[in-house]
Amino acid sequence: MKLANTGHQEGHAFVGGRISRAEIEAVTPVIERILLQSKITLEHPVAESFLGSSGSDRFMCGDIDIAVPVDVLNIGGRSISEHPDVKSCSQHGNVISFIIEIPGGEISHSQLRNGLVQVDLIGGEFEWLKQFYHSDSKSSFKGAHRNLMISAYLAHFRVKTYSKEWGDTWVTDEGPIFSQKNGVCDRHRTRVAKADGTPFASKYITVTKNNSYNLPNSAVYYFGSCYAHAFNSFEELIQSIEECYDDEYVAGIYHRFFADYLKDLPHLNDDTFPWSLYPRLAAMRTTVLQR
């Protein structure tokens, strides 16, 4: 969860760079010391609380994500920001982010390594965070690709209602979502109207139900008993979608993925990822990029 900028000193921005697997092992005791001295207690040891690529076998990571109890967020930000080893600290929602030095950290401009790393403390239920931020080390894509494709897939089941008075603005939006807070659940949203009867752009009454915090169970619910693995990685999700749905339905999911979910995320939509492994996916990407 990289931040563009997390602080300044003498006019220079502190920005965490990339970190290698060996450096994560070296920086772990530093993180443990900061948390201990900031009186922050985790449910599990730091090394067991890594999320996403931080906890996988990938050689390089963009930052370090760590699962923490939600109540940590109420006390952690201020105590961490005052720690002498912390270059800068900020809090956004359920995430506390801070920058620290990597002991003996390598500096390489070509690899975006600057001797610093961003650490994100992410509040939530431990087992669900492990699933939500899972990044399969065998995958050629990021965990973010998997999460966004799950969201695009589930969005295809949602139904919106409209009214003549509001034109193209929907009144209700109902169906499944994939959420860090609510798991895989059914969400009903009703748009709120202003005093003059016109709709607010982003003000809703939201109700969720049937919340599931078990991705294998959710995969079986949507794909069938042979597909408990479907939400494990981007590749397994693509395979499951293409095996279970006709061409038109698959095209709709892929179009939504690129046009709605990746449109503002160029770092997840560049040519370094092997889109060509999936011809229908690659064709839709080309179509959306050309528009």
Q: State mean pLDDT over 259-264.
A: 95
Other residues' Cβ atoms within 10 Å of the Cβ of residue 210: 12
Do 64 and 50 meet the contact criterion of CB atoms below 8 Å apart?
Answer: yes
Q: State mean pLDDT over 265-291.
A: 95
Q: What digits encode the pLDDT tens for the residues 41-55?
A: 899 999 999 998 775
What pLDDT is attached to residue 76?
64
> Above 80 in pLDDT, residue 167?
yes
Q: How far apart are CA 246 and CA 2, in angstroms?
A: 37
Let me know the angle formed at the C-alpha of 151 by 147 and 156, rounded to the nearest 5 degrees.
150
Task: Name the β-bridge partners of 117.
Answer: 100
- Please report the DSSP string for 8-37 in residue order: EETTEE-----EEHHHHHHHHHHHHHHHHH
Q: How far apart are CA 267 and CA 143, in angstroms?
A: 13
Question: What is the percentage of the chain residues whose pLDDT exceeds 70?
Answer: 92
Q: How far apart are CA 246 and CA 240, in angstroms?
A: 12
Q: Any idea which residue has 């494990």 for tokens? A: 232
Give the confidence band of 177 by pLDDT, cuts at 50, 70, 90: very high
- In this structure, are strands 64-68 and 116-123 parallel, antiparallel, or unpaired? parallel
Q: What digits encode the pLDDT tens for the residues 124-157?
A: 999 999 999 998 989 999 999 999 999 999 999 9
Q: How far apart are CA 235 and CA 127, in angstroms?
A: 23
Q: What pTM does this model have? A: 0.86
Q: What digits encode the pLDDT tens for the residues 192-230?
A: 999 999 999 999 999 999 999 999 999 999 999 999 999
Of 94, 7, 102, 108, nearest in space to 51 by CA: 94
* Residue 127 φ/ψ, nearest 5 degrees: -65, -35
Residue 287, token pair as written in the block: 């179509």
CA 215, 43, 30, 78 dihedral sign is: positive
Q: 122 in helix, strand or coil?
A: strand
Q: State mean pLDDT over 74-103.
A: 88
The structural domains of the chain, with segments of one domain joined by +, span 8-132, 143-289
CATH superfamily of 8-132: Beta Polymerase, domain 2 (3.30.460.10)
Residue 182, token pair as written in the block: 């609510």
Do 164 and 194 meet the contact criterion of CB atoms below 8 Å apart?
Answer: no
Do 46 and 34 meet the contact criterion of CB atoms below 8 Å apart?
Answer: no
